[in-house]
Amino acid sequence: MSLVDSKQTDTLPKLVERNAAADPKGAGMREKTRGVWQTYSWTDYRDEVRDFALGLASLGFKRGDKLSVVGDNRPQLYFAQVSAQAVGGISVPVYQDSIASELVYVLNHAETSVIVAEDQEQVDKALTLKAQLPKLKLIVFDDPRGMWGYDDPLLRSFESVVEAGRAFARANPDYYAREVALGAADDTAMIAYTSGTTGTPKGAMLSHRNMIATAEAFVEVNHIKPGDDWLSYLPMAWVGDAAFSLGMALVARATANCPENPETVQRDLRELGPDAVLAPPRIWESMLTTMQVKAGDASPMKRRIYEFFRSIAEGCELKRTDGKPLSLMERAALAVGEILVYGPVRDQLGVRNARWCYTGGAPLGPDTYRFFRSFGINLKQIYGATEATAMISCQADTEANPNTVGRPIPRVDVRIDDRGEVMLKGSNVFSGYYKQEDVTRDTMTADGWLKTGDAGFFDKQGHLVIIDRAKDVGKLADGSAFAPQFIENKLKFSPFIREAVAFGDQRPMVATMIAIDMQTVGTWAEKRGLAYTSFMDLSRKDEVAKLIGEEIAKANATLPDMQQARRYLLLNKELEADDAEMTRTRKVRRKFVAEKYANVIDAFYNGKASADVTLEITFEDGRKSAMTSTIAIHDLAPAAPAKQAA
């Protein structure tokens, strides 16, 4: 029987109670503090949630009120969300790196009355905005460092709210149990704001039923066990983190682990050695870049050994994908490679103990995908949407494939409409957008199917294949298909390319804007004695343009003739979320980018040798500055057409 079918376990706070009763000393959550892992048992988890919830109640927080958390991943910020839900409230996590205008929009739209902030930096941001937040009644801070001189009446420490809750409990001993019991599966647990690739973020209302049923389906496919560890390092405002660090952890009694800070994630990951890892493509691409750079910096002997066994591993992975048996010599080579290369690489990346790893949030290039799997990392793809509580389909261990996103998770129906759009129905589908009924009607069909906006199809094995966002899939002038993400992922396999934006819809050829990877290109330049002062200076070097041209040519060699990039430009800055060019989850806002760089697109297709690009910088307080520079456009000769897109 599903947990949501029982009134004893149909909400997240009730699952906290269940876990504390079933495994009181088990690890409910950990955090790295001053170099030491601190553990909260399930009993501690329950007590923290209960006491903070009662503290909120004593300060006037009531059923239907909204609580926002802002900061890096911290146990207290997760506890605060469940506490709000325990007394009938709704959690609204926001991105910790949001600029002022983004925060004001979300907090006002959600009608947030309580903000729980990680530290002084986030408190300062909230206090700066409080005049623009008429519904705000309370700001709670977790880390007291630097807060001794603050006397704003809105401010309370996390510990003081907990103490108020304990006092409230002594006067109202039955209050908490009564409030938790009032909670129901279809109550809204969280408002998760979309990444806003097409405009202003929308608040997707996710119920307890959505979160619990989705987690149960995922646990069923992946055989998650109580006590399994993973690192909770992804933004708390991303629905994927909520689905794992709250939904999955509470359903499966697994342990979420918070790193010391964003800068120590890789070290903490390696130290923890988790049972599972979830990361968006940007993280996997960064890991790949790190390994490529380390291999390039190794001694000639180590580099030759690495390249030899890498080649063997990738060849064997292709054979396995095609269902072909490995020869005795290949199996022996893999065994030696496991000792010399594959095992040490997995250890360096922190995934030596991981039974499974997932990539999701955006497509991952097939080359990057195969690289990790060839090194013995059980990397699989997951596909989801905020409106579907982060999960629609995923790959089982025996069905990993770089070209699909697996089968729909249990008890979720997926169909493809006559326009090729992916649609679904199931208990993971949200109840609608907060205060946007008209947009909800546009997103849901009359008979309850969610329109994802993604173009896809089912292959012969019944696996879902996602082509691209439906609105982004187009045709080149000759009628051949144009899917920009497919081309961009090929380009981003290069360690020297951080971001790529491809153009070509209704055009005679493909052209692309490239943002170099500052770290790897900078290291490359330093080794060659090439002096530079900034990202802008480095990206304008002729030597760098030639390097990137060679990298694009490598990608072109794996693409059909008409899909190959013919012209490119190196941007004088990285694409930034603060400048609205990307979402906080690192997805390109294509419409905005196309409008902002319209003169570049015009130069691409009118044969111009350069284009004027305006560098606009947005500061945290919303101020902007800009300057315009002329950037060269480079041409590429056609590569030998690929027999088949890899």
Q: Name the pTM for this structure.
A: 0.85
pLDDT, tens digit, 9 for 90 and up, residues 287-329:
888 888 888 888 999 999 999 999 999 999 988 888 889 999 9
d(C-alpha 235, C-alpha 537), whole Å: 32
Q: What's the pLDDT at 585? A: 73
Mean pLDDT of 466-477: 84
Q: What is the pLDDT of residue 646?
A: 40
Domains of the chain, earliest start first: 3-256 (3.40.50.12780), 281-352+354-469 (3.40.50.12780), 474-635 (3.30.300.30)
CA distance 228 to 29: 11
Contacts of 386 (CB under 8 A, 6+ apart): 192, 193, 194, 195, 204, 239, 430
Nearest Cα residue to 552 out of 590, 519, 514 = 514
- Mean of pLDDT values over 334-359: 93
Region 393-410: mean pLDDT is 91
How high is the pLDDT of residue 605? 95
The DSSP letter of residue 187 is S
365 touches 347 (CB < 8 A): no
Is residue 422 within 8 A of residue 464, CB to CB? The reply is yes
What lies within 8 Å, CB to CB, of 309 at 6+ separation is: 333, 336, 337, 340, 341, 342
- The pLDDT > 70 percentage for the chain reads 97
Helices and strands, number each (H, E), in the chain: 23, 28
pLDDT, mean over the chain? 91
Q: Burial level of 598, CB count in 10 A (0-12/13-18/19+)?
A: exposed
Distance of alpha carbon 295 from alpha carbon 286, whole angstroms: 14
What's the maximum distance between 2 C-alpha atoms anywhere in the chain? 79
User: What letter would DSSP give residue 634?
Assistant: E
Q: How crowded is the C-beta side of 44, counted as CA atoms within 13 Å? A: 12
Q: What is the mean pLDDT of residues 149-157?
A: 93
The dihedrals phi and psi of 496, each to the nearest 5 degrees, come to -90, -5
Give per-residue pLDDT as tens, 83-137: 999 999 999 999 988 877 788 999 999 999 999 999 999 999 999 999 999 999 9
The candidate with the shortest Cα–Cα distance to 485, out of 503, 464, 508, is 503
3-state helix, strand, coil in the chain (%, to 5): 40, 20, 35
Q: Where are the beta strands (DSSP E) in 345-482?
A: 356-359, 379-383, 393-394, 407-408, 412-416, 421-426, 432-433, 450-458, 464-469, 474-475, 481-482
Residue 588 and residue 574 in contact, taking contact as beta carbons nearer than 8 Å:
no
CA distances from 308 to 9, 313, 367, 372, 388 (A): 53, 9, 17, 16, 43
**pLDDT in the model for residue 240:** 92
pLDDT at residue 644, rounded to an integer = 45
What tokens appear for 540 in the block?
């304008």
Question: Length of the chain, please?
Answer: 646
The strand ranges marked E within 289-419 are 356-359, 379-383, 393-394, 407-408, 412-416
Higher pLDDT: 465 or 102? It is 465
Q: What is the pLDDT of residue 645?
A: 41
Measured CA to CA, the distance from residue 520 to residue 544 in angstroms comes to 11
Q: What pLDDT is recorded for position 619?
A: 62
Residue type for 391, please? M
Q: What is the pLDDT of residues 230-279, one digit of tens each?
A: 999 999 999 999 999 999 999 999 999 999 998 899 899 999 999 999 99
Q: Compute the distance between CA of residue 4 and CA of residue 7 in angstroms, rounded to an integer.
A: 7
Q: What mean pLDDT do residues 592-613 have? A: 92
Q: Is the pLDDT of residue 149 over 90?
A: no
Q: Give the pLDDT of residue 621.
A: 59
